[in-house]
Amino acid sequence: MLDLKAFEKQTIPAMYEEAKDNDLKEIIRKQKEKLGKKLVLLAHHYQKDDIVEFADEVGDSLELAKKVQNYKQAETIVFCGVHFMAETADMLTDKKQKVLLPDMTAGCSMADMASADQLQVAWHKLEALFKETILPVTYINSTAEVKAFVGRHGGVTVTSGNAKEVVSWAFTQKKRILFLPDQHLGRNTAYHLGVALKQMAMWHPATKDLSYKGNLQDVRVILWEGFCSVHQQFTPLQIKRMRKLFPDIKVIVHPECRKDVVDLADDFGSTAKLIKLTYEAKSKDRLAIGTDNNLVGRLQKIMKEKGVFVHFLNPMACACLTMNRIDLPHLAWILDELAAGRVENQITVSADTTKWAQVALNKMLELTK
């Protein structure tokens, strides 16, 4: 797990913090041109517009995990995302390639809800209850150490874009799965694959116990008590209010949202799917989107030119705060340092952790080619 406290006092020179946006953008353009093909800049869809405009590739977790492997000529990958994404990039690239994160405090609250130590405790207790009938499945929004644990135990990683395929495969391997760290993606995916809610139990890492009412042998899915702080903010009431204002509106949400939100929506899916659904809208169509508001705001601007009305399902506080730590001052600084031959904020995953995490990652990529 990333110890964010270790980087709380990390500072960049004041000149970057005090510079105007246009000056910072000029630095970024200049250094990108200077570094050429030695550099590739990847950005997650949830990044702010002023970061996305400099990206060589933009995507969700699954897309970026695949795309990073296409840049064999790049010596350095600057990853504008959060820590677990940069870890994944480091594990999927060649040893000679370096992965840098502009701000090391860009973590993920969901990933921090499941440590390898917590998983070890949970696995020991769950194996005592269910013997050899469990397969671990971890969301890509997890630490490298958690992915490695899952790989050692024959499990697999999953993204919101391939959850249906990967979880379906998991059920061909074992009777039940432990899904971590996002309970909502696990619940929504399993439910839509035909697993009843009464067949789902909840593991509580804080209290180290399992909650379930009924015969334990009926359990098919053990959900980890974790969630996304952004998608947790969407509610059924927001959907009802939106439909009251606009009876013809189509509501689409991310599967990290609560099940009652997903149930009320017209459709749900990964970030890539939400973008696809938006681009497929016709003139005068009206959409409300329940996901990170940096992305929704960008879609709103793009679709306005096509006569499509895009609304924030929740306009308040629904952008990923840690993702937003990647900003123009940090990006300009890290590229200046790189151009001067100084490598800052390199993300490195140990050989042993990489070996086993790759087992889980490669199984996912194999299942979703």
pLDDT digits (tens, 9 = 90+) for 36-94: 999 999 999 999 999 999 999 999 887 888 888 888 889 999 999 999 999 999 998 98
Report the C-alpha gap between 126 and 123 in whole angstroms.
5
Cα–Cα distance list, 152 to 19, 58, 112 (Å): 47, 31, 20
- Indicate if the pLDDT at residue 279 is higher than 60: yes
Separation of first and last alpha carbons in the chain: 29
Confidence of residue 159 (pLDDT cuts 50, 70, 90): very high
Question: What is the residue type of 113?
Answer: M
Which token pair is 33?
Answer: 């041109």
Question: What is the residue type of 231?
Answer: H
Closest CA to 203 of 175, 179, 222: 222
DSSP-assigned states of every residue in 234-245? --HHHHHHHHHH
Torsion of the alpha carbons at 41, 46, 47 and 53, rounded to the nearest 10? 70
| Half-sphere CA count of 131, side-chain side, radius 13 A | 4
Pair 225, 206: CB distance under 8 Å: yes
Closest CA to 367 of 153, 172, 166: 166
Pairing between β-strand 176-180 and β-strand 134-139 as defined by DSSP bridges: parallel
Q: What pLDDT is stored for residue 5 in this prediction?
A: 54
Report the C-alpha gap between 90 and 105 in whole angstroms.
17
Which token pair is 245?
Answer: 């204002």
Which token pair is 347?
Answer: 């993300």
Confidence of residue 1 (pLDDT cuts 50, 70, 90): very low
Closest CA to 107 of 294, 326, 310: 326
Instruction: Give the model confidence (pLDDT) of 166-206 as tens digits.
Output: 999 999 999 999 999 999 999 999 999 999 999 999 999 99
Q: What single DSSP character describes residue 40?
A: E
Domains of the chain plus CATH, in order, are 4-107+322-352 (3.40.50.10800), 111-228 (3.40.50.10800), 231-312 (3.40.50.10800)
Question: Cα Rg for the chain, rounded, in angstroms?
Answer: 21
Q: What pLDDT is stored for residue 268 in this prediction?
A: 97
DSSP-assigned states of every residue in 52-76? HTT-SEEE-HHHHHHHGGG-TT-SE
Pair 144, 353: CB distance under 8 Å: yes
